[in-house]
């Protein structure tokens, strides 16, 4: 499989190059030359396969020959070594719980896959790789956990001081070993700006082999198809499900659309958004107008210019009408998010996190006008990750899952730096 840049100015590359580069040299996102279509025998009989077989079959054509089959099978097996159950909330709504991985958010899946691929590629070349990543919260923890103790790879995470949740901060700063946290006196945009400058710095590139673990990386994006197949594997409805996907950068829903293109039976997709409604507006007006991100209580979706939207357009050959037939969107404000969270908790004894609540609202809105259909909300994070929001709403404390107890007890280790690129560069030159 070859990948081309959606900006059209860079040479084609294989999966290995696309993973190492992250973004194409012309600044574009990589996109696969073809979308492989799965065998109908396979997509209609998913119960007959193990999860590992499903994941392997889905990803193999995208990886091509860049990773030997036995290694790839090991990688997918480790990627999905936790449960991803489909849980019923009410008669027409199910929750696909993507939060049973080590950092309790769906980003674990992409990060675990990518880290292992990069570890394999770095072993081939014997060259140490430094992964540089800026996070507003969830990405950093997933990347830290995914890359912890991966041979040949160092990770440097930049996060905005005081702007990530307490659980998220622990998940970023307590691994040690090859994981290094930089606490930046600034906001997420500053962090992202500093990382971008590092990638542009040719002088630095001479000294350090830098790569990103950004969500646009094909090795993070493509494995997110797995759990759409796992959902269907557990699906007992008469018709294919509607998927409602809480969306920020639109990588998750874009992977779902790839799965559907590959032949997975899906009725419809809903891009569930918070006040950051660039895509809902586009679907209404036909105008795509990026804006500055607004802060909300579902902060992992506070994105004003979703990077993966261009890939979604590509899946539909830039035909907005075709896109609208398969994808709707809905916007849910903070108050409504809280109301839904409380209501679902009381009525159905199911505790959503704020992102899942946005997804739930989007789905109910759709189902109201589409009688007889049933849907799946992608529950992208465990509510404990957003306890600062959730606990006051339900007026109860949430039990801490045993799996993160140890992390919460550990001491935070982070180096404080200012928000200028010079400081980041100085740190990298001395420490990497």
Ligand X SMILES: *Cc1c(COP(=O)(O)O)cnc(C)c1O
Q: How far apart are CA 156 and CA 184, in angstroms?
A: 12
E strand or H helix at 330, and its extent?
Answer: strand 327-331
Sheet arrangement for strand 415-417: 210-212, 129-134, 153-160, 179-184, 415-417
**Does residue 380 interact with ligand X by CB under 6 A?**
yes
Please, what is the Cα angle at 94 between 302 and 57, to 5 degrees? 85
* Of 248, 256, 246, 268, nearest in space to 224 by CA: 256
Instruction: Give the tokens for residue 239.
Output: 């018709």
- Which of 122, 249, 296, 331 touches ligand X (CB under 6 A)? 249
Q: What angle do CA 384, 214, 352 make, to 5 degrees?
A: 20
- 């700006």: which residue's tokens? 193
Least Cβ distance, residue 122 to ligand X (angstroms):
25
Nearer to ligand X, 25 or 85 (CB): 85
Cα 228 from chain centre? 13
Q: Is 247 in the site for ligand X (CB under 6 A)?
A: yes
Residues contacting residue 432 through CB under 8 Å, at least 6 positions apart: 130, 154, 156, 208
CB of 424 to ligand X, least distance (A): 23
Segment contacting ligand X (CB under 6 A): 58-66, 249-257, 286-294, 317-325? Answer: 249-257
Which among 79-87, 173-181, 246-254, 399-407 is the span making contact with ligand X, rule CB under 6 A?
A: 246-254
b/e for 329-355, b at 16 or more Cβ within 10 A?
bbbbebeebbebbbebbeebebbbbbb
Q: Stretches 247-255, 259-267, 341-349, 401-409: which one binds ligand X (CB under 6 A)? A: 247-255
- Rounded CA-CA distance 430/107 in Å is 30
- Residue 108 found at the interface with ligand X (CB under 6 A): no
Of the candidates 107, 170, 385, 425, the residue annotated as catalytic is: 107
Q: Taking Cα atoms as reference points, which of 311, 288, 304, 291 lies closest to residue 24?
A: 311
Residue span 286-325 as binding mask against ligand X, x where in contact by CB under 6 A, dash where not: --------------xx------------------------
Least spacing, CB of residue 355 vs ligand X, in Å: 4
Which CB atom, from 215 or from 419, has the smaller least distance to ligand X? 215
Identify which range of 69-77, 243-251, 329-337, 391-399 contacts ligand X by CB under 6 A. 243-251
| CB closer to ligand X, 211 vs 252 | 252
Q: Does residue 140 interact with ligand X by CB under 6 A?
A: no
Min dist CB 272 to ligand X, Å, is: 9
Which member of 107, 112, 220, 425 binds ligand X (CB under 6 A)? 107
Please tell me the distance from the alpha carbon of residue 216 to that of residue 41, in angstroms, as a whole number.
Answer: 31
The distance of closest approach from Cβ of residue 232 to ligand X in the complex, given in angstroms and rounded to an integer, is: 20
Is beta strand 153-160 parallel, antiparallel or unpaired with respect to 30-32?
unpaired
Name the minimum Å distance from CB 216 to ligand X: 10
170 is catalytic: no
Of 61-69, 148-156, 245-253, 341-349, the segment contacting ligand X by CB under 6 A is: 245-253
**Using the rule CB under 6 A, which residue among 141, 152, 248, 256 binds ligand X?**
248
Residues 251-280 that bind ligand X (CB under 6 A): 251-252
Which of 32, 246, 256, 280 binds ligand X (CB under 6 A)? It is 246
In the complex with ligand X, which residue's Cβ is closer, 86 or 109?
109
User: Which residues on adjacent β-strands are paired with residue 130?
Assistant: 154, 210
Q: Is 381 in the site for ligand X (CB under 6 A)?
A: yes
Residue 250 CB, nearest distance to ligand X (Å)? 5
Give the x-and-dash track for 202-241 against ligand X (CB under 6 A). -------------x--------------------------
> Does the protein bind ligand X through residue 105 (CB under 6 A)?
yes
Burial (CB count within 10 angstroms: exposed 0-12, middle 13-18, buried 19+), residue 277? buried
Applying the rule CB under 6 A, the residues between 336 and 365 that interact with ligand X are 355
| Cβ nearer to ligand X, comparing 119 with 246 | 246
Collapsing DSSP to helix, strand or coil, 315 comes out as helix
Give the shortest CB-282-to-ligand X separation in angstroms. Answer: 15
Q: How far apart, in whole angstroms, are the C-alpha atoms of residue 379 and residue 203?
A: 43
Environment class of 372 (CB within 10 Å of its CB; exposed 0-12, middle 13-18, buried 19+): exposed
168 is a site residue for ligand X (CB under 6 A): no
Q: Which tokens is 61 given?
A: 């054509």
Q: Give dist(CA 389, CA 50) in Å, integer.
A: 37
Report which of 213, 216, 109, 103 is spatially closest to residue 165, judged by C-alpha positions. 103
C-alpha–C-alpha distance, residues 310 and 31, integer Å: 10
Residues involved in catalysis:
107
Interaction site with ligand X (CB under 6 A): 105, 107, 138, 215, 246-252, 300-301, 355, 380-381
């Amino acid at each position: 499989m070859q990948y081309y840049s959606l900006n059209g100015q860079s040479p084609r590359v294989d999966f290995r190059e696309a993973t190492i580069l992250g973004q194409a040299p012309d600044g574009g996102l990589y996109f696969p030359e073809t979308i492989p279509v799965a065998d109908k025998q396979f997509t209609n009989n998913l119960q007959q396969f193990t999860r590992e077989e499903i994941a392997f079959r889905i990803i193999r054509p995208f990886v091509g020959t860049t990773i030997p089959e036995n290694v790839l099978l090991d990688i997918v097996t480790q990627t999905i070594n936790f449960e991803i159950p489909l849980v019923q909330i009410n008669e027409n709504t199910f929750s696909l719980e993507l939060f049973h991985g080590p950092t309790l958010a769906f980003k674990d899946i992409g990060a675990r896959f990518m880290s292992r691929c990069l570890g394999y590629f770095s072993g081939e070349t014997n060259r140490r790789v430094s992964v540089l990543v800026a996070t507003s919260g969830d990405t950093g923890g997933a990347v830290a956990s995914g890359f912890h103790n991966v041979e040949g790879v160092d990770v440097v995470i930049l996060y905005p001081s005081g702007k990530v949740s307490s659980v998220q901060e622990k998940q970023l700063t307590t691994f040690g070993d090859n994981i290094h946290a930089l606490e930046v006196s600034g906001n997420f945009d500053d962090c992202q700006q500093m990382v971008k400058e590092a990638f542009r710095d040719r002088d630095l590139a001479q000294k350090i082999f830098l790569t990103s673990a950004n969500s646009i990386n094909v090795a993070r994006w493509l494995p997110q198809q797995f759990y759409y197949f796992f959902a269907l594997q557990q699906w007992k409805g008469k018709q294919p499900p509607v998927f409602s996907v809480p969306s920020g950068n639109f990588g998750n829903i874009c992977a779902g659309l790839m799965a559907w293109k590959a032949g997975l039976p899906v009725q419809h997709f809903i891009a569930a958004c918070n006040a950051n409604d660039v895509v809902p507006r586009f679907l209404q007006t036909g105008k795509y107008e990026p804006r500055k991100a607004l802060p909300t209580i579902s902060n992992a979706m506070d994105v004003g210019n979703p990077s993966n939207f261009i890939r979604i357009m590509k899946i539909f050959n830039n035909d907005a009408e075709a896109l609208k037939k398969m994808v709707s969107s809905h916007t849910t404000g903070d108050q409504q998010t809280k109301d839904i969270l409380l209501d679902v908790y009381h009525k159905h004894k199911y505790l959503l996190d704020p992102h899942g609540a946005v997804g739930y609202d989007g789905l109910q809105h759709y189902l109201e006008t589409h009688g007889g259909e049933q849907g799946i909300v992608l529950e992208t994070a465990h509510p404990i990750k957003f306890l600062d929001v959730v606990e006051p709403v339900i007026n109860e404390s949430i039990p801490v899952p045993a799996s993160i107890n140890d992390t919460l007890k550990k001491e935070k280790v982070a180096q404080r730096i200012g928000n200028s690129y010079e400081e980041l560069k100085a740190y990298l030159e001395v420490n990497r």
